[in-house]
Amino acid sequence: MSNAPPHPVGPAVAVPIGTAPEATAPSPSAGGFVPAPQVLTRERLLDGSLQRMVRALPGATLLTDEERERSLRDTLAARPERGRGAWLFGYGSLIWNPTVHVAERRIARVEGWRRSFCLSTPAGRGSPENPGLVLALEPGGECTGVALRVAEEILEEELSVLWRREMLTGAYTPHWVPLLDRDGHAFGSGIAFTINPAGPQCCSGLSEADTVRRLATARGQLGSSAEYLFNTREGLRHLGIRDPLLDRLAEQVAAAQAKA
């Protein structure tokens, strides 16, 4: 299994936004993509590896297959548009490791939601003893990321793969959100995975010091929270997007790791 972040699955046929380069530096401070010990791949989603990893946690509560399938059916039933597939809104690891087949990519902005390290993860990017942090969307502000279009003929199959990744525990709530281009014009609606404020993994309101500490120190079977942060910042930079929050956190996390 490759240690480099995988290139996005499927060709980009719209606005070229770049793909993750091969990881060449062993240290996050190098400023590029950072290798993880076990890359989250499409195969690991399909064979249940991720589900088994999470289920092995003490006290873990997963959605049943029926609950997950119902969530997907309800989301598809609420589609605002039909016929050309569906857009997904990527603001974190979907930017640099989507694991689904993508027909088209373009830069997109959503209003009313902001990128936030408000999701605690005791598996994957952390451990029960030292839970890591990954991104979710919280209400308020705006967020720029990438819209990924999945073709109509493979939509249900690909979203089923995605639901095995994002909807294992119910930590996220899928919403259809309007997608805006660089000029502020709406070009469609996309599925965005927002924080479930009632979920046990929601950790909104962490201080920046606690956020930096957890990002700098937490590590799990899929790599570290720091790697997730650095790879997301690098993925955004390849889109020509600078996120002041991620830039600030990346500098502080790199400094904290250098002192350790």
pLDDT of the chain, 260 residues: tens digit per residue: 333 343 344 333 333 333 333 332 333 333 455 444 568 999 999 999 999 999 998 888 899 999 999 999 999 999 998 889 999 999 999 999 999 999 999 999 999 999 999 999 999 999 999 999 999 999 999 999 999 999 999 999 999 999 999 999 999 999 999 999 999 999 999 999 999 999 989 999 999 999 999 999 999 999 999 999 999 999 999 999 999 999 999 999 999 999 98
**What is the model's pLDDT at position 14?**
39
Bridge pairing between strands 86-90 and 219-220: unpaired
Integer Cα distance of 149 and 153 in angstroms: 12
**In the numeric block, which tokens belong to residue 95?**
């930017």
**In the numeric block, which tokens belong to residue 187?**
């070009």
- Looking at 5-92, list the stretches that DSSP marks H as alpha helix, in order from N- to C-terminal side: 42-46, 49-55, 65-77
Classify 160 as helix, strand or coil: helix
The CATH number of the domain covering residues in 28-259: 3.10.490.10
Of residues 24, 41, 43, the one with CA closest to residue 32: 24
pTM here? 0.86
Integer Cα distance of 180 and 69 in angstroms: 29
HSE (CB half, 13 Å, CA atoms) of 142?
A: 11
User: Is residue 156 among the annotated active site residues?
Assistant: no
- The residue annotated as part of the active site, out of 138, 158, 166, 227, is 166
Integer Cα distance of 205 and 85 in angstroms: 36
**What is the model's pLDDT at position 239?**
93
Burial of 244 (0-12, 13-18, 19+ CB in 10 A): exposed
Integer Cα distance of 250 and 247 in angstroms: 5
Instruction: Kindly provide the b/e burial profile for residues 211-227, where b requires at least 16 CB atoms within 10 angstroms of the residue's own CB.
Output: bbbbbbbbbbbbbbbbb
Of residues 73, 72, 28, 5, the one with CA closest to residue 217: 28
**What is the model's pLDDT at position 60?**
84
Integer Cα distance of 17 and 28 in angstroms: 22
